[in-house]
Amino acid sequence: MNAAPGESLRGGPRRRLHGKLIGQADFRRLWAGQSISELGSQVTALALPLAAVLVLHASTFQVGLLTTAGFAAFLLVGLPAGAWVDRRRRRPVMIAADVTRAIALGSIPVAYWLGVLTLWQLYAVAFVTGIATVFFDVAYMSFLPGLVGLDNIVEANAKLQVTVSLAQVGGPSLAGFLIGLFSAPVAFLADAASFVVSFGSLAFVRHHEPAPDRSEARGLRSEMAEGLAFVAKQPILRMIAGCTATWNLFNSAVMAITVVFLVRQVHLHATAIGLLTSLGAVGGVAGGLTASLLRRRLGSARVIWVAAVVTAPFELLIPATSPGPGLAFFAVAALVSSFGAVVYNVNQASFRQILCPPRLLGRMNATIRFIVWGTLPLGGLLGGALGSVLGNRNAIWICAAGVTLAPLWLLVSPLRRLRDTPQPAEGWDSVGPEAEPATP
């Protein structure tokens, strides 16, 4: 749904902001911190399985368990995190999560230098950082609309997704370089430092976030149920959650064993894996840059399912990867899949934020994350188990087929009959960024 000039997504007079979104100092601070943080996280995404494979000689199943440990938090604390976050200002929650992740990741190189690094520590660090990520992500998705206003939410999500994609371009190459130069465990220092930078950027955000209204406070269980009920009663949200959960289940199964597959079947070194992954991530940058354009051309509802349906089948190219020219299969699969995932995520996340009343944002986001990220640890187990029994290549064929079928949820949903998504929820008229002077 696109506002005409002079109109607001809320349907009334447009809330005027001085300057564009890029001119908002608080958004720039948030954006800068997230950019560095995402770059560091891409280092860990490659360093964690490589540390397990190259330093601790882990099996395929043991590497799959790392994915399970990292995302188990979304099953264990995903729902209560939303209700808990809705009771508090979101920025302090995000700062605490950054500090926790920096400390946990910094423990890995320390243990390596002392000669006491074990797989159990890698599992523990993955789990602790996963817990912190749950709280950060729920708070972050709920903090952003109030920071930038609904008129700017699609632009904000697109800019942040471009950042993620750029990190995916540079991060694996940086990770491969650091791992080749210093070893996988030492590379974790880069991610730990990135969370320190993110903490610093959040500390300087000046946006006044009002305290949540606790006049009608109820028990944690009742508030969790309210978030679940909101998602359950929205047919489009239900189907988006089903599509994303299925996609994540099978994609995480693929990703859990991809590094093992590239090392042991395709015979690549860490640097080559990093470069190959970076080339594929260029598609995510293109997706972030064109998400708003495609939204205007196709419609804010239609773009969600078209992006998923058209790009998901390219995942089937991954198991066709082989040494030499066959590496192009992996690069094309990663490029197109990243493009589709970013376009899909920018638009469906913006739709969720617009549709939900402000007071329910934390619980709605937590409920969606519980459903769609709760399948990630199961995917890690699935990939590790199938890889151990059938071999890595055959396991990836099966799981890539699952990714291809995930958009069926959207094709049987009311979303397919709409061009644009519904009007924003009540309550957003009184929520938005404070006007600030334009900056050069």
| Longest alpha-carbon distance in the chain | 65
pTM tops 0.85: no
Q: Which single residue is written with the structure tokens 């300087």?
A: 204
* Helix 119-148 with 60-76: angle, nearest 10 deg: 40
Token look-up 């519980």 returns 370
Task: Collect all residues with Cβ–Cβ distance below 8 Å to 49 and sequence separation of at least 6.
Answer: 63, 66, 259, 260
410 vs 75, which has greater pLDDT? Answer: 410
Q: What is the pLDDT of residue 146?
A: 77
pLDDT for 59 beyond 60: yes
Taking the CB of residue 322, how many other CB atoms lie within 10 A of it?
15
Q: In the prediction, which pLDDT does 422 show?
A: 67
Q: How far is CA 31 from CA 25, 34, 94, 281, 326, in A?
A: 10, 5, 14, 19, 37
* 394-430: burial string, b at 16+ Cβ within 10 Å, e else: ebbbbbbebbbebbbbbeebebbebeebeebbeebee
Rounded to whole angstroms, the Cα distance separating 124 from 69 reads 8
- CA 13 vs CA 8, 270, 313, 422, 429: distances in Å: 6, 54, 43, 18, 10
The residue-averaged pLDDT of 352-367 equals 76
Q: Token pair for residue 1? A: 């749904």
Question: Where is mean pLDDT largest: 215-229, 277-291, 355-369, 376-390?
Answer: 376-390
Measured distance CA(127)–CA(110) in Å, rounded = 18
| Type of residue at 242 | G
Sorting pLDDT into bands at 50, 70 and 90, what band is 216? low
Average pLDDT on 286-300 reads 86
Q: Which of these ranges, 49-63, 122-136, 318-332, 349-363, has the smallest mean pLDDT?
A: 349-363
User: Is the distance from CB of 140 to CB of 94 less than 8 angstroms?
Assistant: yes
Q: Which of 52-56, 319-323, 352-356, 412-416 has the highest mean pLDDT?
A: 319-323
Mean residue pLDDT of the chain comes to 80
Residue-by-residue DSSP string for 114-147: HT---HHHHHHHHHHHHHHHHHHHHHHHHHHHHH
User: 404-415: per-residue pLDDT in tens?
Assistant: 999 999 999 888
Kindly calculate the radius of gyration of the chain based on its CA atoms and give it in whole angstroms: 21
CA distance 147 to 208: 9
Res 54: pLDDT: 79
Predicted local distance difference test score (pLDDT) of residue 20: 65
Percent of the chain with pLDDT over 70: 85
Which residue in 123, 121, 148 sits closest to 65, CA to CA? 123
Say which range, 11-20, 152-161, 186-195, 317-326, has the weakest mean pLDDT: 11-20
Helical ranges in 19-89 per DSSP H: 25-50, 60-76, 78-86
DSSP bridge partners of 7: 13
- Domain range annotation of the chain: 21-208+221-427
Does 264 score more than 50 pLDDT?
A: yes
For 255, the token pair is 């990703």
Poorest-pLDDT segment among 151-160, 383-392, 412-421:
151-160
Residues 10 and 168: beta-carbon distance below 8 Å: no
* 315-339 per-position pLDDT tens digit: 999 999 998 888 889 989 988 998 9
Structural domain 21-208+221-427, CATH architecture: Up-down Bundle (1.20)
- If one compares 246 and 12, the residue with the highest pLDDT of the two is 246
Neighbouring-strand partners of residue 13: 7
pLDDT at 319: 93
Name the DSSP letter for residue 216: T
